[in-house]
Amino acid sequence: MKKQSKPKFKSIFVLHVYKYGWSKDKLAYHIDQDELESKGGARPGIDIWDYDVGYFQTLHAAEKRIKKIVGENQEELYSFLIEEKPQECMIRKGDYLTIRRYLKDGSLWQESKVSTIREYDGKNCELGDTCFYGRDLRTIPFKEGDIVEIARKDFMELGIIWDLPATKKRMKRIWSRYIKQLGPDIAWVHPDDSDDGYTVVGYSLGKDGKIGFGHSHPAVVDVLPPSLPVPKKFAQQLRKCLRTLKKEEAVYILEKEREKKNAKSAK
């Protein structure tokens, strides 16, 4: 599919400053006991706050402000996020043209130039390039089994990598399949920002002491290296959950292959 041309409008760059949530204890990953009591379950991690927000005319100006904030040596800093948004039009809350994550030292961690804007000013029309063409291997720093942080809006959760985002080589094959199957519809239905992410396994501890676990697909810009020491008990539990899910997947695949084999034999 031919890449869309760059949008003809001015952008604004929105800088979010994330800080660790307040804690009376030493800053550390933990299971929140209050959440455990009130909600019946809690995940290992730590609260974070979308503390400050700034609006800048250029990416350079926003990055310059990040350096200034880092220079003030604020110990509670967690990370920074810059969203590029179009000016003078209505888009859905949370949509952006590009997005970038910076670590607490101000260094650029990850960026995604896949636009999420599929509707603006009440029209079903895309702004920017909404197509995902795969990632360069150099921009995928993790491997299966790595312990990571998933930065949510108000909580940073510990997880473990199960699968990686698709590379450019893999996406070429996927795009070929999409074009062959969908034809003209490819203009609207195609690999997008939701494909630019990891598969991460996480778990929660129940009030009854039982462990519940599953997987999610956080965006690449929201998956960060551990910023604090990871307690051994959390790491061990995450690895156990990953092993269990991989075994379940292997059994499922085996059953499906057996079903196909039996179906062919029945013909």
Asked whether the beta carbons of 78 and 56 are under 8 A apart, the reply is no
What phi-psi label fits residue 122: left (phi over 0), alpha (psi between -120 and 50 degrees) or beta? Answer: left
Closest C-alpha to 7, from 130, 175, 112: 130
Residue-wise pLDDT for 183-211, tens only, equals: 766 666 788 999 999 999 999 999 999 99
* pLDDT score for 21: 87
Q: How far apart are CA 39 and CA 31, in angstroms?
A: 12
Whether 241 shows a pLDDT value over 90: the answer reads yes
* pLDDT score for 11: 94
Residue-wise pLDDT for 78-123, tens only, equals: 999 999 999 988 999 999 999 999 999 999 999 999 999 988 888 8
Q: Which two three-digit tokens encode residue 55?
A: 């609006």
Q: Which two three-digit tokens encode residue 244?
A: 């269990």
Which pLDDT band, with edges at 50, 70 and 90, does 4 fall under? very low
Which pLDDT band, with edges at 50, 70 and 90, does 236 fall under? very high
CA 9 to chain centre: 27
* pLDDT score for 122: 81
Asked whether the beta carbons of 119 and 91 are under 8 A apart, the reply is yes
Whether 25 shows a pLDDT value over 70: the answer reads no
* pLDDT score for 185: 62
Q: Which two three-digit tokens encode residue 43?
A: 């995940």
Integer angstrom CA distances of residue 66 from 52, 108, 147, 226: 11, 10, 27, 21
**How is residue 3 annotated by DSSP?**
P
Residue-wise pLDDT for 31-83, tens only, equals: 988 889 888 999 999 999 998 999 999 999 999 999 999 998 778 899 999 99
Whether 16 shows a pLDDT value over 70: the answer reads yes
What phi-psi label fits residue 44: left (phi over 0), alpha (psi between -120 and 50 degrees) or beta? Answer: beta
Whether 7 shows a pLDDT value over 60: the answer reads no
* pLDDT score for 226: 97
Whether 3 shows a pLDDT value over 80: the answer reads no
3-class secondary-structure state, position 35: helix
- What are the strands, taking DSSP E only, across 121-248? 147-151, 155-163, 199-206, 211-216, 223-224
Residue-wise pLDDT for 129-160, tens only, equals: 899 999 999 999 999 999 999 999 899 999 99
pLDDT above 90 covers a percentage of the chain that reads 69
